[in-house]
């Protein structure tokens, strides 16, 4: 009997739940049907159960690794480092080649203070603090039928706590495409959790991902069914980081980016990619 890794098992369970129990209705913005469930939450203990990198289909590792380095640098132009690794954010640039809602820019500059820098300073001084909240959502402009943008933040806030000497991250997501978006978002924010833990000299603990609207698009139904049917024996993946990953990421260090990609790729033996999975914009 093959042993699937923990993340693959939990991901399959979520897909089954949505496909079997999700409410199917048309989304007006995309003009596509979705099967959707409200209030879906998933957790994994990174230290004990492994890094949450999907192996039921191939996920481009360099995409989410470079994305997190770009976020930590506070940049908002894909031409500034990110485009050398992935063009995923090119869908969301304005005519000035700027991602208006770039997460890292929101974390580090947009609200007039460096939320990530202050988070690290807070938890270094008081590890028991429960005030480690980072916001991406700008209530003055995002959502509620406000200013039109190509994108508004999906993961819109996260909280970091140190409990039991380990760093835990709770990510709150307003909307997640469970076939394309969710696996990349989980891997990316779990990597951020590991980077923050290293910076603060503690181990990463539990990653929690809470979604207000967890959905599968109708053009992904077959892909979801394929992943539900797959089984794959895979050893747990360990996100061992290079030294000083946080500081080097702030400076868009290509060497640290490439090293993180290599560490994960050497452990990664996924099943084949599923062709034809297109983003619904």
Active-site residue set: 154
Q: How many CB atoms lie within 10 A of CB 125?
A: 8
Rounded CA-CA distance 103/115 in Å is 11
**Within 10 A of 146 (CB to CB), how many other CB atoms are there?**
12
Quick one: how far is CA 146 from the chain centroid?
A: 25
| Residue 278 neighbours by CB distance under 10 Å | 9
What is the rounded end-to-end Cα distance, in angstroms, of the chain? 40
Two structure tokens written together for 272: 């084949």
Tokens 């993340």 -> residue? 7
Cα Rg of the chain, angstroms:
18
* 40: exposed, middle or buried (Cβ count in 10 Å: 0-12, 13-18, 19+): buried
Q: How far apart are CA 197 and CA 24, in angstroms?
A: 40
Q: Residue 84 has which token pair?
A: 């050398």
Distance, CA of 149 to CA of 143 (rounded, Å): 9
Q: How far is CA 66 from CA 43, 54, 254, in A?
A: 24, 17, 9
């Amino acid at each position: 009997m093959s042993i699937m890794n923990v993340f693959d098992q939990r991901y399959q369970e979520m897909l089954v739940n949505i496909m079997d129990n999700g409410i199917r209705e048309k989304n007006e913005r995309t003009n596509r049907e979705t099967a959707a469930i409200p209030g879906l939450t998933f957790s994994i203990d990174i230290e004990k159960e492994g890094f949450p990198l999907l192996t039921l289909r191939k996920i481009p590792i360099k995409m989410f690794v470079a994305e997190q380095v770009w976020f930590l640098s506070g940049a908002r132009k894909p031409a500034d480092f990110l485009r050398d690794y992935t063009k995923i954010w090119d869908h969301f640039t304005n005519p000035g080649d700027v991602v208006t809602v770039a997460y890292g820019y929101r974390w580090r500059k947009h609200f007039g203070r460096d939320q990530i820098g202050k988070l690290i300073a807070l938890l270094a001084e008081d590890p028991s603090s429960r005030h480690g909240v980072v916001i991406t959502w700008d209530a003055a402009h995002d959502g509620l039928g406000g200013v039109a943008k190509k994108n508004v933040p999906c993961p819109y806030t996260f909280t970091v706590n140190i409990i039991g000497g380990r760093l835990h991250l709770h990510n709150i997501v307003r909307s997640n495409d469970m076939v394309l978006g969710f696996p990349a978002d989980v891997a990316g924010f779990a990597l951020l959790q590991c980077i923050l833990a290293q910076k603060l000299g503690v181990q990463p603990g539990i990653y929690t991902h809470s979604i207000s609207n967890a959905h599968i698009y109708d053009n992904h139904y077959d892909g979801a069914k394929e992943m539900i049917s797959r089984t794959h024996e895979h050893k747990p993946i360990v996100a061992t980081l290079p030294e000083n990953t946080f500081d080097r990421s702030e400076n868009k260090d290509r060497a640290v980016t490439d090293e993180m990609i290599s560490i994960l790729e050497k452990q990664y033996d996924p099943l084949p990619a599923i062709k034809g999975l297109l983003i619904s914009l």
